[in-house]
Structure 1
Amino acid sequence: MTHDMAKQFWNVYLGMAGKDGAHVNMSNPVDDFKARAHAGEFDKLTDDQYYRKEADAEEVASFWDYKPSEMAGIILLNALAKTDISDVEIDGIAGILADASVRTDYYTEEQECDEEGLGFSPVDGPTPFDDGAGWTPRSIYNYLNQHIYGQDAAKRAVSMLMYHHLRGNSRNIVMAGATGCGKTEIWRTLSKMYNCIRIINGPQLSCDGWKGSLKISDIFTCETKKLAEHLVLVIDESDKMMEPKVASGGTDYAKMIQNELLKVMDGDTLTFTDEKNRDTKTTINCSGVSVVLCGSFERMLQAKSESSESIGFGRREKKESVVAECTEEDLIQYGNVRREIAGRISQIVTLDTLDGDDFEKILESEMSPIQKMEEAHNVSLSIDKESRRKLASDAAKSGLGCRYIRSKLQFMLDAQMFDEPEKDTYSLYYE
């Protein structure tokens, strides 16, 4: 490894450890290198320059133990374990850390993030590891493009949210779109890169003090304090969570949930009491927490779609969203969202409904469920064009999207593997 490359690595990862960034998931530099090469970023390099960069990426990747991603703190420890450091050098490093310890007051309370928050900017500015950390909106967007088909506006909005969130500036957004359009998949994909993302099933949420499978307090108290105060809460099916649920006594439980959520979105400091030990309390500062409300919001999108068509957007030659821009008032009128919560939403993103043609393109793309299934089972799969077309069409009609495709592909493969599990090539037919 060259001296410059090594110095860049230590600057970045020691810098992250010193700025509470040890929990951030970092993608393997070899995967990043391949993605950048595929995008043509290295086309102007000579062969020698290209292979030198490739070798550098492969050498650094050994600190990941060949995993696709790992937390920065683990990577730093792996790098230390693999690096040949003499006793004299260890003594020198220990002396530097000892000097730092002398000027540090370890007895004070945990410091809040400064205005740069979770930026983790290295001392010498941008480095080749920026793409792995997702420190720029473009790098996050490019990562999503490798895994998510279409939905450009949503991917851009999410990239900006993560960029600002990692720099300590929390945001709250709404992502509205039909089931199977990729809302949750976007966040599932990002959660492999960022350890701060938590995807929650909205209808399961309940308030403290009454029964429910998941309380808002549970989300925070099961995390370390540092991580809990910098989470991205992605609430799936949030529109269903907000539908009125009035008990016989007249209490609307949906409003109670929104009251709890409002405190998080306001950035309040919340105190949670352990139900088993009432003397144990956990205090969480939510000013660094971002909230994403995902849902189909069918009434709202239907109303806006009809509005768009009435002014001429319905006649279009190419496929594009016909949903007019949704507003705070639309959330209140059609989405059962309290005005106080709607007022704290910085952006409402509407996702396109995918049709049969879209799913057929997905099946033929590099992000195809077929390819992922081949990798998972270490087999080669073939599926004829007519089966692809019908499978894509049925996926669109089902409203389940790629989940439907994955389920049917697995069913077809299992049917063949049951009698011939030793084969390495299978032909799938869908009727």
Structure 2
Amino acid sequence: MESSARREEAPLTPREIYERLDRYVIGQDAAKRAVAIAAHNHLKRVQARRLRRHSLIKKSNILLIGPTGSGKTHIARNLADILQVPFTTVDATEYTEAGYYGKDVEVMVSDLLLKANHSVEDTQRGIIFVDEVDKIARRSQGARNGAGSRDIGGEGVQQALLKLLEGREVYVPLNVTQAWNKSDFVQVDTRDILFICAGTFSDLHDAGDEPGRRMGFGADDAASRSRRRISTKQLVEFGMLAEFLGRLPVVVQLELLGEAELIRVLTEPPDAIVREFRELLAMDDIDLEFDDGALREVVRYSASRGLGARGLRSILEHVMADIMFEAPERRKHQVRVDAGLVRARLAGLDSVQLSV
């Protein structure tokens, strides 16, 4: 990570950010463009504040909506690498309203502070990725003005996050494992921290589907890509606070990846899974090759079970288990993985719990 004292440079343009994202993130062109614009505006806002200029630019916090394995976390992590800022991923379900057993939302910033090697200046320009944000939707059916039953893990967390999303000076614990110890804390300004929230909102996706009307070859894939856009009204009815959504002005809806895109995920990016397995076996002097049919079997299995790109690694780990076990004993050999081997290994895999 570069020092915060580096000389001021012109912010990366949206096209530059998009092109760098495109190297690692397959598909989701609309999402990458929207994220690139939001990131560029965020850089300009940070630069203006750093130069002590009066600026009207508001925070460009992002809400990513999409099915499991569509690339939400992958986009956020690669964006942090491109911008060269500290990055942390947190799970919204771990947090509760202040005063209850569980993590206070300030611990999110504390975790980012840890990733920034306790540099407050670097922390204040980092990115916090809040996953599973749909799981903190309002669950109580009481009055919406706060009366009635408390929803400490849902609406209460949304309320607590408002100040962080908008930008405030907050006191965060220095030790994330002892968040209850209020004697050791540091003041952090969240005005320049970019928050990227993400959730599947699967109920809203399911509501928009009409399975009975899918007909013909490839209809399932076409239907998944032509899903209706999720509106702010639907999100509010789902249980998200209007004030919370108002602090996430950039809403990006990701699509389910098709089989062709999943094959590209396996092979094209610099950190592709197939490249990784080849490198692992090359260290044992083994030349590894995958047939096109083998890769198609892997992505069909993942797509048919709705695992998306996230499930590809678990599937390949299972397929390659015996080969990896015997690799040190088969030096200077060539190993070819074909469709038959993949089908044989995947037979009965449904009884095994894949970790995705």
Common topology (TM > 0.5): yes
Question: What does 1:326-365 correspond to in 2, within 5 Å?
Answer: 326-334=230-238, 336-365=239-268
Considering only aligned residues, what root-mean-square deviation do their CA atoms show, in Å?
3.3
User: What is the Cα deviation at residue 143 of structure 1?
Assistant: 0.9
Aligned residues: 299
Paired-residue identity, %: 24
Cα distance change of structure 1 residues 156 and 233 upon mapping to structure 2, 3 Å threshold: same
Deviation at 1:400, TM superposition (A): 2.3
Structure 2 residues without counterparts, runs of 5 or longer = 47-56, 114-118, 142-147, 214-218, 344-356
Structure 1 position 143 matched with structure 2 position 46: no
Pair 1:411 & 2:300 matched: no
Amino acid at match of 2:279: E
CA deviation string 1:194-242 (max 9, x = no partner): 3333221222223443322x43222223513223322322111111233
Counterpart residue type for residue 209 of structure 1: G
- Structure 1, unpaired ranges of 5+: 1-70, 77-119, 127-133, 310-314
Q: Is structure 2 residue 6 aligned with structure 1 residue 72? A: no
Q: Which residue of 185, 188, 208 corresponds with 2:77?
A: 188
Match among 90, 99, 124 for residue 200 of structure 1:
90
Partner of 1:96: none
Q: Which residue of 2 aligns with 1:165?
A: 42
Query: What SS is found at the alignment partner of 1:430?
Result: helix
Give, in whole Å, the separation in 1 of the partners of 2:320 and 2:4: 37
Distance 1:317 1:360, change over 3 A: closer
The equivalent residue for 1:34 is none
* 1:172–1:346 CA contact under 8 A, matched in 2: yes
User: Is the 1:201–1:237 Cα contact (8 Å) retained in structure 2?
Assistant: yes
Shift of 1:376: 4.4
| Cα distance in 2 between the residues matched to 1:370 and 1:257 | 40
**TM-superposed deviation, 1:409:** 1.9
The answer to which structure, 1 or 2, has the higher relative contact order (CA under 8 A, 6+ apart) is 2
2:342 partner SS: coil
Measured after TM superposition, the shift of residue 75 of structure 1 is: 12
Take 1:318 and 1:290, find their aligned partners in 2: how far apart are those partners?
34
Matched with 1:228 is 123
Among candidates 67, 89, 95, match of residue 178 of structure 1: 67
Q: Deviations over 1:363-399 (max 9, x none)?
A: 3535542123223443532222332222111111232
Question: 1:221-370 to 2 correspondence within 5 Å?
Answer: 221-222=110-111, 223=113, 224-242=119-137, 244=139, 250-253=149-152, 254-272=154-172, 277-304=181-208, 321-334=225-238, 336-366=239-269, 368-370=272-274
Structure 1 Cα separation of the partners of residues 134 and 60 of structure 2: 19
- Find the partner of 1:380 among 266, 287, 297: 287
Task: Tell me which moved more, 235-244 or 356-365.
Answer: 356-365
Aligned counterparts of 1:408 and 1:320: Cα–Cα separation in 2: 23
Asked whether the equivalents of residues 370 and 381 of structure 1 are also in contact (C-alpha less than 8 Å), the reply is no
Letter in 2 for 1:210: Y
User: For 2:221 and 2:202, how far apart are their aligned partners in 1?
Assistant: 25
Instruction: State the shift of 1:145 in Å.
Output: 0.8
Q: Does the CA-based 8 Å contact 1:328-1:343 persist in structure 2? A: no
Query: Deviation of residue 172 (structure 1)?
Result: 1.7
Q: Structure 1 residue 259: deviation in Å?
A: 1.0
For 2:225 and 2:181, the matched residues in 1 are separated by: 52
Contact residue 140 and residue 149 of structure 2 kept, 8 A: no
One-letter identity of the residue aligned with 1:196: P
SS at 2:320 equivalent: helix
Equivalent residue of 1:206, what SS? coil
SS of aligned partner of 1:287: coil
The residue that corresponds to 2:33 in the other structure is 156
Instruction: Measure the CA separation in 1 of the matches of 2:180 and 2:222.
Output: 59
- Partners of 2:121 and 2:91 lie apart in 1 by 23
Structure 2 CA distance for partners of 1:373 and 1:389, relative to 1, 3 Å: same
2:196 & 2:325 partners in 1: Cα distance?
42
Q: Distance in 2 between matches of 1:203 and 1:380?
A: 44
Q: Is the 8 A contact 2:256 2:308 kept in 1?
A: no
Work out which of the two has the higher radius of gyration on C-alpha atoms and give 1 or 2: 1
Paired amino acid for 2:169 = T
